Amino acid sequence: MGEFNGFVHRQKMAEAHLEEAGAVLEGHFVYAAEDHGNAYVAKDETIKRPEILARITWLMAANLAETLDPDDIDMLGAAAPCGSIIAARMSEHLEGMWGKTPGLVFAEKVPKIAIDEATGEPKIEEELKLKRNFDQEIIGKRIHIVEDVVNSGMTVLQLKDLFGSFRGVEVVGASAEYSRTPSAVNAETLGVSPWLPLVEKELTKTKPQDCDMCEDLEQFPIRTDRGHGAKFLAELAVWDAALKA
Ligand SMILES: [Zn+2]
């Protein structure tokens, strides 16, 4: 018998919960970076099912409690809305494991004006900011980041920079519900330790020109209910019309 590994065991349990929530979808998807692939992690499906989210966040809390001591952390820090819901549930579970519930801080997306590099025109972008007096309350605190689904790791990096820009704040690791690009996203690339993804699973992706499913759209229609499939199909239609003209 191999040695019992709590992290591996909890990943297996989490995968079953995610499947029950219908959070891992199969089909022909277009991702944010225009890549195509045959699976999609729908983070909002677990948020919609509080009884399943309770189990998933319990597992995330257990990974954290096994790695760090209650004295190592003052607050859990996340991005609203999904990350902050997960962090709040984790904090509740830590009461039972640590006898302490870390505080909660969350950043919110606010619009900012940026210059479009291609056109030189101004455009609206979003950035993460602290509201609700959090900018005062986090001073000097040790914050553990909590994320939902990690693709590029961009949100974790943004949260790390944001929290770290306040006086005396120390970022002490990060947890995630699901890391779908473990080959590219790890403690080293994120610059956070410990890095605790509950589920780590590489989902394959290909460039549209190399996508086998695109060869047979009748059999593998592009899903437009998630990801960027609708936009991709609209662009495809414009190309088709241009070619026929
Ligand atoms: Zn495709």
Condensed to tens digits (0 to 9), the pLDDT of residues 180-213 reads: 989 999 999 999 999 999 999 998 889 999 999 9
CA distance 237 to 193: 46
Q: How far is the CA of 214 from the centre of ligand 1 (A)?
A: 4
Residue 149 CA, ligand 1 centroid: distance in Å = 22
Cis previous bond, 197, omega within 30: no
Sheet holding 122-130, edge to edge: 122-130, 103-115, 75-79, 142-150, 170-179, 195-200
Instruction: Tell me the β-bridge partners of 223.
Output: none
Cα of 233 vs centre of ligand 1, distance in Å, is 10
* Of residues 20, 79, 57, 54, the one with CA closest to residue 177: 57
How far apart are the C-alpha atoms of 42 and 111, rounded to whole Å?
A: 24
Spatial separation of the C-alpha atoms in residues 72 and 162, rounded to whole Å: 20
User: What percentage of the chain carries pLDDT values higher than 70?
Assistant: 99
CA of 116 to the centre of ligand 1 (A): 28
Cα first-last separation, the chain: 67
- 208 C-alpha to center of ligand 1: Å? 5
- From ligand 1's centre to the CA of 213, what distance in Å? 5
Q: What mean pLDDT value characterizes the chain?
A: 93
Average pLDDT over residues 98-119: 93
- What's the confidence (pLDDT) of residue 103? 97
CB 106 within 8 A of CB 82: no
Span from the CA of 197 to the centroid of ligand 1 (angstroms): 28
Please check whether residue 167 is in contact with residue 140, taking contact to mean a CB–CB distance below 8 angstroms.
yes
Q: Between these two residues, 65 and 114, which has the higher pLDDT value?
A: 65
For ligand 1, the distance from its centroid to the CA atom of residue 203, given in whole angstroms, is 14
Question: What is the reported pTM?
Answer: 0.88
Distance 240 CA to ligand 1 centre (A): 16
pLDDT tops 70 at residue 2: no
CA distance linking residue 222 with residue 38, whole number of Å: 10
Q: How many angstroms is it from 244 CA to the middle of ligand 1?
A: 22
Q: Which residues contact 196 (CB under 8 A, 6 or more apart)?
A: 60, 63, 64, 67, 173, 174, 175, 176
**Residue appearing with tokens 């020109």:** 209
Q: Residue 236 Cα, ligand 1 centroid: separation in angstroms?
A: 11
242 CA from centroid of ligand 1 (Å): 20
> How far is ligand 1, taken at its centre, from the CA of residue 209, in Å?
8
Closest CA to 125 of 138, 116, 135, 134: 116
* Distance from Cα 224 to the centre of ligand 1, integer Å: 12
Q: Which residue bears the tokens 């018998």? A: 1
Expressed in angstroms and rounded, the spacing between residue 226 Cα and the centre of ligand 1 is 14
Q: How far is the CA of 234 from the centre of ligand 1 (A)?
A: 14
Give the distance (Å) from ligand 1 centre to CA of residue 119.
Answer: 28
